[in-house]
Structures are given as structure tokens and as C-alpha cells.
Amino acid sequence: MLNACQAHLKEKYYCPHCQQQLTCCNAPPFHVGDGLGWGSAIMYICLNDECSLYVKGWKHIEEKYGHTSSYRYMQLPGEKEGTPMMVGSNDAFKGCEVDLESLTKENKRYIKEKEAVEQLDTCVADRNLTAALHLVLDDAAGKESRERACDLLVELNDLACIDPIRNHKFINHSLEQKINMAISQILTANFKKECPHCAEIIKAQAKVCLHCKRDLG
């Protein structure tokens, strides 16, 4: 679905009947007419209610077939010409619009996730905190990669990962537990702790917080 749409994100199609730009819609799971697949996850449809094809269609179908339907102009991606498609109501295909903006966003996120996953194998050798941290903080990334990234953060043993993690609100609670464990391992390995009052990272043996000056005894 994502890849199918990606190729056509920048394409624009126009209705030959009303010259309005066609709307990118999710294709129905099967061809209404012949039961075959559309061969595409998306299709471009003229959703203009003032479109002459659509306005005239009601009368045309009523006279020709005797039922209440009309046509909307439809074009499949990559094809030069579209075709009138029968619709049974004004609502047909409304609400099926593909949200190109969020699709583009999701695609960018996915590319970043993939890059980070590829870097995991070498991140400890490269002392590369970025990839593992990126995955831990990306709530839409795959669960397995995030858990692996969490383990790698312990190996990387870099205190710099703690602040960004503490500033992140985790949706997945089991991952949150795992990351909390990882943080306490990293703190212990560096002889540090978090101040219970101000959350700053301080020496494990500190009796008074260096930052908020409060008593830790």
C-alpha cells in the first residue's frame, strides 16, 4: 500500500469533464463491476458533485438501466485515460481519500527506522548511540528492533541516552519497563544515580544533590 502510493505521490490527475483535480482514494477490495481486482491499491476519482458526468449520470442511468446510480470519473495510477465508474450514492468513495500528507510522513519515518535498524549491528563497535536511541524513541518502530536497541544501549553504556529517554512518553509499557531496567544498569555501571527530587544524574554516593542541593540521606 505504502509503496504503491509512494510512486504516485507527486502525480496529479484531472477530470476531463470538470477539469477538477482527481482525489487519490483507497481502491475497494474488488472491482464492483466484474469481481476482479483493480490491480492497484489506490485510484484517482473525481469527487466533484458539480461534475457534468456525475450530474448527468443519474438521469442517464435511470433511463438506460432503470436504477438510481450515477457515474464518477475514475483513473488508475499510471494510466493515461480514465473511465466512468458507477456509484450508487453521493457518499460513495467519500471518506476513502488517501491522506497523502500523513502517508509521506509515515514513509519518512519508516526510512529512518530502516536506516537505524541497519546500523544496529555495528553501533556498539562504532560507539554510535544515535541509531539505538532513535529506535527506542520511535513508538511506531518494530517491537523486536526496539527491544534489541534497548539491549544495545546497555552495551553502549552512555549516560547521554538517559535524558532523551526520560523526556519521552512511552506508549508500550513492557518496553518502558525494559528501558527503565536498562537505565538503571547504565547508571550503576557509571557509579551514578538519578536524584529523586530533581531527576539530575548525580554520583551514586552523593548525600546531597549537586543540582537541587536537597538532602538524599
Instruction: Please state the closest distance from residue 48 (CB atom) to Zn ion, in A.
Output: 5
Is 27 or 201 the residue whose CB approaches Zn ion more closely?
A: 201
Q: Which is nearer to Zn ion, 156 or 201 (CB)?
A: 201
- Pick 129 or 202: Cβ nearer Zn ion: 202
Q: Between 73 and 116, whose beta carbon lies closer to Zn ion?
A: 73
| Exposure string for 94-123, b = 16+ CB within 10 A, e = fewer | eebebeeeebeeeeeeeeebeebbebbeeb
Question: Which residues of this protein are in contact with Zn ion, per CB under 5 A?
Answer: 15, 17-18, 46, 48, 51, 73, 195, 197-198, 209, 211-212
Shortest distance, position 76 Cβ to Zn ion, whole Å: 16
Q: What DSSP element (H or E) covers 189?
A: helix 173-189
Q: Give the pairing of strands 192-194 and 201-203.
A: antiparallel
- Amino acid type, 155: E
CB of 170 to Zn ion, least distance (A): 23
CB-neighbour burial class of residue 1 (10 A; exposed 0-12, middle 13-18, buried 19+)? exposed
CB of 209 to Zn ion, least distance (A): 3
* Rg (alpha carbons) of the chain, rounded to whole number: 28
